[in-house]
Chain A
Amino acid sequence: MSLVNFTAREITCKIVYYGPGRSGKTTNLHYVYGRVPESRRGRMVSLATQTDRTLFFDFLPIDLGQISGFTTRFQLYTVPGQVYYNATRRLVLQGADGVVFVADSQARQLDENIESLQNLQANLLDHGVDIRGMPLVLQYNKQDLPRELILTSADLDDALNFRSLPSFPADALHGVGVFETLKSISEQVLKRLSQGTTA
């Protein structure tokens, strides 16, 4: 997938929300969906189980309109978090321009977070992508939960963010940190434009 098509004057960014099951990836997309004017958003495709678990993936296309003469589109994807859907995750990751890693701030979910982050690295490697070269931001979701249940941003940074990536505490359900995260990953992805990436 080409990020920028100078001939057609189009910018297309594929951003994948990654993370362990139930960390709030789909919630992020839902919140964004709720904030995008109808004319600007495509149909949100969500394949969920009866219990609202993402079975395949969510897909939310957003049209940002003309930006600097470029028709700019963002495609937001989520992956199913559950361990046994790894094939789907790998598929969704293909051609991603940036990844948002949505971590579950609950203390008891720490191992799942770490496992999922390692899984992300492995799946990217399968596509021949070094995670260090991939635009990536971390979101510590569910920071609205009671203090005693969750780890702070600082704790999570220590545990997950050893490359000092941008990280955002969030409460995706109420929208806190959702757009900050999206903005940060967009900036990282778009900065690749300046590296002369061409179609």
Chain B
Amino acid sequence: MTTALNPKFTFDSFVVGAANRLAVTAARTVVENPGSAYNPLFIYSGSGLGKTHLLMAIGSQAKKVAPGFNIEYLTLDEYVEAFHAAIAAGQGDAFRRRFQNVDVLLVDDVQFLTGRAEMQTELLRLTEVLQGTGHQIVLTCDRPPGEIAALDERLISRFSGGLVVDMGVPDYETRVAILRRKAEERGAAFQPGVLETVAGADFVNVRELMGALNRLIAYQAVNETPINAEAAKQVLGLASVAAATGGGSADEFAQFVSDVTVTVGKAVEAWRSRVAEAILRWEGEGYRTHRLEALLERDAPAAVDEAITSFVKDVERLKALETEVAALDPQAAGQSIFRDPEHMPEAEEAAARVREGAGPPPAPSPAFPLAQFAAGASNQMAMSAVAAVLAQPGKKYNPLLLVGRSGLGKTHLLNAVGLELAQRRGAIVACLSTQDFVDELIAAIDGNRMDWWRARYRRATALLLDDIHLLAGKERTQEELFNLFNLFLDQERQLVFTAPTPPGAFQGIEPRIASRLGSGLVAELTEPDRDVRRGAAERLLVQLHQPTEAALLDYLADRPVDSVRALTTLVQRVVGAATAKEQPLSAGLAREELEGQAPVGERRRTSGFRTSGIVVSSAGGVRSREKMVWDWPEPSDRVLEESR
């Protein structure tokens, strides 16, 4: 089975260059001192670089040095084949004996040991035996021992234990030398520059170089004309290869183009990776990225960065909208519309809807400025409480409960406080009647918009409710108010309420609310004293553009009215009479009107509407003043109305 050594493969025919000098030296040493210098000698190199040549040269030389030597050269495959044949023939022992008696064992291509555990064991055993008996082993491989896949560790250490040398690609000079040597061997002569041209070409190994040389020899033999360098290039298909005399490698341009290709590839595709990055990022945050995905499907990036920037801008806007909406209505913020930059207008609309819905809560009526509230001894306590509240909202008297009979100006004072508070920076004052508060809540429950309803009031910096006693029996409203109440107290936001009686007398209101209502300051408004009456009369006359004579004001102030509202009715009556008579208003005219036709006056007073301008819609059905006048002419009806 052993391959005969090729007599052409000798040390003499082996061209030594920088790349293989070490290997050749080691090989020569091994021949001179078999089994003692480097054992085993492991030579590795790429294909076609002379491993086999060197291995055979060792064999040939050893035979020359010691003709009696038993020298075995075989490739690993042959070794495996021989082993299997021997085992099959039942002559395994004979096989082993045969190799144990070899003086120089030369094994080619040991990389094929991969995956042959049985052979590895066999070779390991053989190596040990040969090493032990001082017999030389030389192995070649296309890679270092450590890189042979699935090779037994013990073999690796055995192989590495001797000398491991590699052979590189011969340099240009060596290639020229190889070509010259081979051409000489073949008896071929070439024009100057031809062999250099071949050597300068980018052949990866000597075998290919030999192939090229063979082609040139054949070409020259056929054409019977000496080939020149240019023709040689044509023959070898190296037309684009530049002349090898010059610095650097032969085909610098080709190399350059390939480098540029890599760079362009990276650069051209870079925009894609930027887009993909953006998609990953925003998708991760839950935004729809159709727009960016569409970009990826295009061949050319049309303003990729602008597209990404505009996308990010839209997303930022969506975020802002969502944050805004979340503050107004936590439920609405979860809408998917705020995650889709493709539908910005819809998102804006949705936000606008929420914004509208959760607009500021009802504000105090501008018809009741504090300056127009007539102050006097009868409401001094309430006025000083209001002053304290305005000086330190939410801190001193919280809540402030204004108590007094109907028509004493509670509503006016409440709205006046609201107006004053609303003038502060960033203030959102919720000021409304309790009935409206209840109605809003019912509407919110009905529209399943409790969250926005709550959010709306939670934003307020002050909550002012008129006629808080109307909460009676409204359990849900009480519950909601209770929560708001605690929030406002915690955050020192002002609460102001009005009620006809102190909280202790409330019916149908939970004790926890009633007690809280009384926990701040309960300020009572009593029947207006003369100062208040005079002040109120003056204000009314000024409002109605009437003269404010002292005699008239004194007369009006002396009228025995029990509320500002009653006084207002009086004033309106006298003003109406003066207008009807086309006379200027005076004390005499007033007296004539009020005392001369007293019964009619009483009758008119039963009209039941609040001349202060506020319509208390506790009945929910009051549409117009005329209706009230004509529908409820009887005093008994008026009593009913007031008790509601």
Contacts and interface: CB of A to CB of B under 8 A. Distances in A.
Most chain B CB within 10 A, of A7, A37, A40, A68, is at A68
B67 to A, nearest CB: 53
B559 interface: no
Contact of B300 (A6, A35, A174): A6
A167 to B, nearest CB: 18
B261 A194 contact: no
Nearest to B252: A179
7 smallest CB-CB distances across A and B, nearest first, come from A6-B300, A194-B270, A193-B267, A175-B247, A176-B247, A179-B252, A196-B305
A198 B270 CA distance: 13
Contacts of A187: 259, 263
Contact of A174 (B247, B270, B271): B247
24 contacts: A4-B268, A7-B300, A34-B242, A37-B239, A37-B253, A64-B260, A67-B260, A67-B264, A68-B264, A68-B265, A70-B264, A72-B264, A171-B247, A175-B247, A175-B248, A175-B252, A176-B247, A179-B253, A183-B259, A186-B259, A186-B263, A191-B267, A194-B271, A196-B303
Interface in A39-67: 40, 64-65, 67
Given A175-B246, A196-B271, A6 B302 contact: yes
Contacts of A4: 268
Interface of A: 4, 6-7, 9, 11, 32, 34-37, 40, 64-65, 67-68, 70, 72, 171, 174-176, 178-179, 182-183, 186-187, 190-194, 196, 198
Given A67-B265, A175-B247, 10 more contacts: A35-B253, A37-B240, A40-B253, A64-B260, A175-B248, A179-B248, A179-B255, A190-B260, A194-B267, A196-B305
B257 interface: yes
Contacts of A182: 256
A67 B261 contact: yes
Contacts of A171: 247
Nearest to A74: B260
A152 B6 CA distance: 53
B264 A190 contact: yes
Contact residues of B: prevailing secondary structure = helix
A9 B505 CA distance: 88
Contacts of B269: 68
A9 B299 CA distance: 10
B518 interface: no
B266 interface: yes
A28 B257 CA distance: 17
A194 B242 contact: no
B240 to A, nearest CB: 5
A168 B40 CA distance: 46
Contacts of A192: 267
Contacts of B304: 196
B257 A191 contact: no
B292 to A, nearest CB: 14
B301 interface: yes
B434 to A, nearest CB: 62
A191 B247 CA distance: 28
A198 B301 contact: yes
Interface in B262-302: 263-271, 274, 299-302
A5 to B, nearest CB: 9
Contacts of A186: 256, 259-260, 263
Contact of A183 (B256, B300, B303): B256
A171 B304 CA distance: 42
Interface in B233-248: 239-240, 242, 246-248
A11 to B, nearest CB: 7
A26 to B, nearest CB: 17
A40 B299 CA distance: 26
Nearest to B305: A196
Nearest to A3: B267
Contacts of A193: 264, 267-268, 270
A190 B302 contact: no
A34 B264 CA distance: 24
Contacts of B265: 67-68
Most chain A CB within 10 A, of B263, B266, B269, B303, is at B263
B301 A196 contact: yes
Nearest to B243: A34
A176 B303 CA distance: 40
Contacts of B271: 194, 196
Nearest to A5: B300
B260 A35 contact: no
A74 to B, nearest CB: 8
B428 to A, nearest CB: 46
B312 to A, nearest CB: 14
A64 B257 contact: yes
Interface in B527-552: none
Contacts of A175: 246-248, 252
Contacts of A67: 257, 260-261, 264-265
Contacts of A9: 300
A186 B268 CA distance: 14
A199 to B, nearest CB: 9
B253 A194 contact: no
Contacts of B259: 183, 186-187
Contacts of B253: 32, 35-37, 40, 179
Nearest to A6: B300
A137 B641 CA distance: 96
Contact of A65 (B246, B257, B274): B257
Contacts of B255: 179
A124 to B, nearest CB: 23
A21 to B, nearest CB: 24
A44 to B, nearest CB: 14
A50 B425 CA distance: 85
A183 B255 CA distance: 9
A94 B382 CA distance: 84
Nearest to B274: A196
A72 B258 CA distance: 12
Nearest to B257: A64
A113 to B, nearest CB: 23
A196 B307 CA distance: 11
A198 to B, nearest CB: 6
A68 B248 contact: no
A190 B268 CA distance: 9
Most chain A CB within 10 A, of B260, B271, B302, B305, is at B260
Contacts of A72: 260, 264
A70 B268 contact: yes
A36 B242 CA distance: 8
A173 B266 CA distance: 32
A11 B264 contact: yes
A35 B254 CA distance: 9
Contacts of A190: 260, 263-264, 267
B302 A198 contact: yes
A64 B239 CA distance: 17
B176 to A, nearest CB: 18
A73 B271 CA distance: 21
A65 B259 CA distance: 13
B436 to A, nearest CB: 58
Most chain A CB within 10 A, of B242, B257, B265, B269, is at B257
Nearest to A171: B247
A68 B261 contact: yes
A67 B300 CA distance: 15
B268 to A, nearest CB: 5
Given A190-B267, A194-B266, A198-B302, A35 B242 contact: yes
Nearest to B251: A35
